[in-house]
Chain A
Amino acid sequence: SKQQTSISSFFKPK
């Protein structure tokens, strides 16, 4: 089944 990913795995801290 599909799992929810986290936004912070795509966008890194400034």
Chain B
Amino acid sequence: MFECRLPKAEVLKKTMDALKDLIKEAVWDVSAQGLSLQSMDSSHVSLVQVTLRTEGFDTFRCDKNIALGVNMDTMQKLMKCASNDDNITLKSEDNGDLLSLIFESPNGEKTSEYEMKLMDLDIEQLGIPDQEYSCTIKMPSGEFQRICRDLSNIGESVNITVVKGGVDFSAKGDIGNAKIHVTESSNVDNEKDAVTVEVNEPVNLTFALRYLNFFTKATPLSGQVSLSISPDVPLVVAYEIEDLGHVKYFLAPKIEN
């Protein structure tokens, strides 16, 4: 038996919004640690990893590890039936083929129960190595979203150059070129507005904007985004979900042939 309850459906709705354009099907792994999901996009260029920790739930019961194979589009559609303020319970039997989603209004006057058919999915899990990164940039998530969107008007790729004190995002295309320079904040009252740039060694890498734009669908989950970059390895774009977990995206770089 698996059963968990979150005080607000909003966070799970936003999580589904952050995933459904990138992946069509996925497996939620349920264990005593919480819910987690890992999946590559269909082109195998990027990977998304989600962790929702037990401690962040109102209640969490998992008698036995289970894997819930879901169609992301279906799950997102059902989640949309919840109001943001509803509390939400997810429930599944150990060998069941259904996931129950129960939404209760804050005043307790309305309870909606949906049952979603589960899928038997065999999705390859990749080992994500723990590593130190050459550079880590933290910035307002809305600013990063804006940069990715704006540079998409110019080209298909963004070149990210990180040096001490700042970062350049640049794009080239048939119509012209663009460069956006973001400087590290010198003095910030509100942590959410801060830009911090940690540099062990300067890096310069190129990434497909198409995927970065998919990743920025997670913007409503967190005021800040962190970008971890090292030469010739996937970029990590991470959104922390307050008190609950994170959504992390990994994007393979474009490199010279």
Q: What is A's interface to B at a CB cutoff of 8 Å?
A: 1-14
Q: A2-B255, A7-B44 are in contact. List 5 more A-B contacts (CB 8 A).
A: A5-B253, A7-B45, A7-B46, A8-B40, A11-B47
**Complex CA distance for A12 and B234, rounded to whole angstroms:** 13
Q: What is B's interface to A at a CB cutoff of 8 Å?
A: 40, 44-47, 124-129, 157, 206, 208, 233-234, 250-257
Q: CB distance B206 to A2 under 8 Å?
A: yes
Q: CB distance B254 to A9 under 8 Å?
A: no
**With a CB–CB cut-off of 8 A, which chain B residues contact A2?**
157, 206, 254-257
Closest to B125 in A: A14
**With a CB–CB cut-off of 8 A, which chain A residues contact B255?**
2-3, 5
Least CB distance, B130 to chain A, in whole angstroms: 12
**Complex CA distance for A8 and B146, rounded to whole angstroms:** 29
Q: CB distance A6 to B45 under 8 Å?
A: yes
Closest to B257 in A: A3
Least CB distance, B179 to chain A, in whole angstroms: 17
**Complex CA distance for A13 and B208, rounded to whole angstroms:** 24
**Complex CA distance for A1 and B234, rounded to whole angstroms:** 19
Q: CB distance B254 to A5 under 8 Å?
A: yes
- Which of B47, B157, B206 has a CB less than 8 Å from the CB of A7? B47
Q: CB distance A10 to B252 under 8 Å?
A: yes
Q: CB distance B126 to A4 under 8 Å?
A: no
Q: CB distance A13 to B125 under 8 Å?
A: yes
Q: CB distance A14 to B126 under 8 Å?
A: yes
**With a CB–CB cut-off of 8 A, which chain B residues contact A11?**
47, 126-129, 234, 250
**With a CB–CB cut-off of 8 A, which chain B residues contact A10?**
233-234, 250, 252
